[in-house]
């Protein structure tokens, strides 16, 4: 549930990224660089630095204020370590009421239900508080963990996009998934 701007989920804390998270985020991406490489674009060296994240967070906060994107971090209980990230990007309002979902989870906490529990809460938040009708996600077919997370959330496969995203230096085909809000009501 929401408590002082935080969600308590699966023994962890989940909240929007804010100023001061640059150190934690640079540590997370450095610690998981090899683990995430197969599923992400090639990153510039600044992506792994505190100063790079300091600048990036300014843009993230601006998206939060404009409500065009929402970037969350999953933290351990005392908020000293980032365990994962969840991003709702390209938030579009009337008439689409949709967004894209992306996420990353630390290697050491894979297969513990953390991402499923986090997405359950955050998807509900997007449906209820941001009035999204549709959340879209895509995954590389070889990423079975991501496929399982999305299917467990109730996402349906809508198609296959050939050479969809430039991931790890190669154009990768993705399965396109979506989840719709059956309780959606007009603003």
Pairwise CA distance, residues 152 & 135, whole Å:
14
- Asked if the structure places residue 50 within a domain, the reply is yes
Residue 5 binned pLDDT confidence (cut-offs 50, 70, 90): low
pLDDT of 3 higher than 90? no
- Asked if the structure places residue 56 within a domain, the reply is yes
- Asked if the structure places residue 90 within a domain, the reply is yes
Which residue range(s) make up the domain with 35? 2-132
Which of 162, 134, 176, 174 shows the shortest CA–CA distance to 40?
174
3-class SS of residue 13: strand
CA 124 vs CA 6, 21, 29, 128: distances in Å? 14, 24, 27, 6
CA 61 vs CA 24, 58, 64, 165, 171: distances in Å? 16, 5, 5, 25, 30
Pairwise CA distance, residues 153 & 57, whole Å:
28
The pLDDT assigned to 148 comes to 96
Tokens of 59: 């843009």
The pLDDT assigned to 96 comes to 96
State residue 42 phi and psi, 5-degree precision. -65, 130
Query: CATH code at 75?
Result: 3.40.630.30
- Asked if the structure places residue 93 within a domain, the reply is yes
Place of tokens 């505190």: 50
- Asked if the structure places residue 175 within a domain, the reply is no
State residue 103 phi and psi, 5-degree precision. -155, 160
- Asked if the structure places residue 103 within a domain, the reply is yes
pTM for the whole structure: 0.95
pLDDT of 187 higher than 90? no
Residue 2 binned pLDDT confidence (cut-offs 50, 70, 90): very low
What is the tens place of the pLDDT at every residue in 76-91? 999 999 999 999 999 9
- Asked if the structure places residue 144 within a domain, the reply is no
Residue 1 binned pLDDT confidence (cut-offs 50, 70, 90): very low
- Asked if the structure places residue 99 within a domain, the reply is yes
- Structural domain count of the chain: 1
**Residue 108, Cβ density class (10 Å: 0-12 exposed, 13-18 middle, ≥19 buried):** exposed
Q: What is the DSSP string of 42-101?
A: PPPGGGGSHHHHHHHHHHHHHHHHHTS-EEEEEE-TTS-SEEEEEEEEEEE-TTT-EEEE
């Amino acid at each position: 549930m929401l408590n002082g701007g935080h969600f308590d989920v699966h023994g962890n804390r989940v909240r929007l990224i804010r100023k001061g998270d640059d150190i934690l985020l640079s540590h997370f991406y450095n610690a998981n660089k090899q683990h995430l490489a197969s599923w992400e674009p090639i990153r510039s060296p600044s992506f792994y630095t505190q100063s790079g994240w300091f600048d990036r967070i300014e843009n993230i906060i601006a998206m939060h204020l404009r409500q065009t994107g929402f970037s969350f971090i999953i933290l351990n209980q005392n908020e000293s370590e980032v365990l994962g990230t969840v991003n709702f990007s390209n938030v579009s309002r009337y008439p689409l009421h949709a967004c894209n979902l992306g996420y990353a989870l630390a290697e050491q906490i894979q297969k513990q239900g953390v991402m499923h529990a986090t997405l359950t809460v955050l998807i509900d938040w997007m449906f209820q508080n941001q009035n999204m009708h549709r959340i879209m996600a895509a995954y590389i077919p070889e990423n079975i963990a991501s496929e399982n997370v999305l299917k467990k959330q109730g996402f349906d496969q809508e198609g296959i996009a050939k050479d969809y995203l430039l991931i790890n230096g190669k154009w990768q085909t993705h399965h396109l998934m979506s989840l719709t809000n059956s309780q959606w009501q007009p603003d």
